[in-house]
Amino acid sequence: MIQNADEELEAERQEKIKKLKKQLQLLLEEDEPKIYQFQQMTHYMTKQYCNYKFHQKMKNGIENIKTLILMDLSAIIVIFGICDEITKWQESVVMCVGALLAVFIPGIGYAIVYHKYKRLKNIESSGCLLEYTNVVLDVGKETKFLCSDGHMEEWKMRSDDDAKVKAGEEAVVIYSPSTHEMFTERKEVMNKICGI
């Protein structure tokens, strides 16, 4: 009888140890950082995405140029509004400077924006294919990615204002091996652009 009681206690103890080991294993698995595997895009998908990203960045850059032009025009209006005793000569100088700025800001601004984002067009022509993977965006957390050539990339995830992807949302991370850049896009957008 005592032996049966000891065996039952030992069996219960062994069962509790097994349960604790399983719980510990689950906790350890949760704490391990997930490593995402990149897949290479096709040439077509790389071209489509590079064109999309280039046009998106150009559109945002042109919006900033429009803002500068409006600020220029606002400055002219403010100058005329503040100055009561402005001579015809001063008025013509202000108008000429404002007109020159209104002409040069779009041209120079466009050239600057184009050269800044021209690298996106060059990615596709370099022959180096983009890589992608699906993730659940965890903003601010270091995430590891295994590239298709076997090397690891670590990237601190951030919310992408252009893509409007927020923390906890499913997204597609695109990696450019030629420029070592990562972009984040919403899954629906990538499905529209490349069929992912």
DSSP per residue over the chain, as a string? -HHHHHHHHHHHHHHHHHHHHHHHHHHHHHHSPPEEEPEEPPHHHHHHHHHHHHHHHHHHHHHHHHHHHHHHHHHHHHHHHH-SS--HHHHHHHHHHHHHHHHHHHHHHHHHHHHHHHHHHHHHHTTPPPEEEEEE--TT-EEEEE-TTS-EEEEE---BTTTTB-TTSEEEEEEETTTTEEEEEEHHHHHHHH--
Report pLDDT digits (tens) over 22-56: 765 655 555 556 778 888 888 888 888 888 888 88
Q: What is the pLDDT of residue 23?
A: 67
Q: Determine the pLDDT at residue 7.
A: 76
The span from the CA of 79 to the CA of 86, in Å, is 9
- Mean of pLDDT over the chain: 78
Q: What is the pLDDT of residue 2?
A: 57
pLDDT level of residue 174 (50, 70, 90 thresholds): confident
With tokens 């409007």, the residue in question is 164
Assess whether pLDDT exceeds 60 at residue 1: no
Q: Read off the tokens for 122.
A: 């060059």
At 36 the pLDDT is: 83
Q: pLDDT band at 163, cuts 50/70/90?
A: low
pLDDT at position 65: 84
Q: For residue 126, which of 37, 50, 39 has the smallest C-alpha distance?
A: 50
Could you tell me the pLDDT band of residue 154, with boundaries at 50, 70 and 90? confident
Stretch 99-128: mean pLDDT, rounded? 82
Residue 55's alpha-carbon distances to 58, 69, 113, in angstroms, are 5, 21, 11
Residue with the bigger pLDDT between 61 and 88: it is 61
Assigned token pair, 118: 């021209």
Question: Nearest CA to 186 among 196, 34, 22, 115?
Answer: 196
Specify the residue for token string 């103890």. Answer: 13
